[in-house]
Amino acid sequence: MISIVVPLILASFAATQPAPKCCTVDQWEGFESEVAGVVPQGQQAVVIDAGMAVHYDGTNQKIAAEGPVTTGGQTVNVNLIQDYSKKLQYVIINSNNCTKSPLGNFKKACVPGDATLMGNYYFGGKAQNLPITAYQMIVQNLQVQVGVTSIGCYPVEEIIVGQTGGVDVSEVFNFVNITDGVKDPSVFTPPAICDTAPFTQNVQLPPGSKMFRGRGFLTL
């Protein structure tokens, strides 16, 4: 494991920066899959495979994700809750280990205004298809390519390549089964085990997972 400072989508916008290309709806949830290769400096490469249910509430500034993360053949169940209204993040591993850490300011799920338009394509066939718009950007010195639906700006796929904190990363994410709204707001409520959980600046987590890096389309 390596120490990853956790803060799912994008960059903050100063007044002088251009308006976002597009933003998602204020509340949505779906499923995110990840396959990644991570090479910590001076260490062997690590392969990460993850599948997470993701819940996004821009209205109340909360994000949650839960699911299995497999790193180097070892699988743990991760539950991540980010409550920006309280500036607190909770990470629960295997339902019995909770840690708390500070959060910065909430960043709305948007494609930044300085992203470069790469083009348009579609999923499916000519008769029935889903139009996608692709963008490219640099986030924290990493090259990020993201595909969102041309109507609605729903995330579809994301590719991240580069080096951060001495770690070489190559990550591919896919988003499916996205629906508007959050069916069960209790997903943002930390379990009782977190009431007495230790507070730390850095959280020890399996390396690579999108939920633990905050450098692409989503802030998770």
Q: Is residue 220 part of a domain?
A: no
Q: Give the global pTM.
A: 0.84
190: in domain: yes
| Residue 219 falls inside a structural domain | no
Kindly state whether residue 218 falls inside one of the protein's structural domains: no
**pLDDT band of 144, cuts 50, 70, 90:** very high
**Does residue 34 lie in a domain region?**
yes
- What would the pLDDT profile of 29-41 be if each residue is shown by its tens digit? 999 999 988 888 7
pLDDT given at position 208: 43
Domain with 110, as residue range(s), is: 2-212
Is residue 130 pLDDT above 80, yes or no?
A: yes
Q: What is the CATH number of the domain that holds 110?
A: 2.50.20.30
139-166: b or e for each residue (b if 16 or more CB lie within 10 Å)? beebebbbbbbbeebbbbbbbbebeeee
89-109 per-position pLDDT tens digit: 999 999 999 999 998 889 899
The number of domains in the chain is: 1
* Both structure tokens of 170: 């190559």
Q: Is residue 217 part of a domain?
A: no
**Residue 163 has which token pair?**
């080096």
Residue 138 lies in a domain: yes
Long-range contacts of 120-124 (CB under 8 A, 24+ apart): 120/150, 121/147, 123/156
**Averaged confidence pLDDT in the chain:** 84
* pLDDT confidence band for 44 (50 / 70 / 90): confident
Predicted confidence at residue 77, as pLDDT, reads: 95
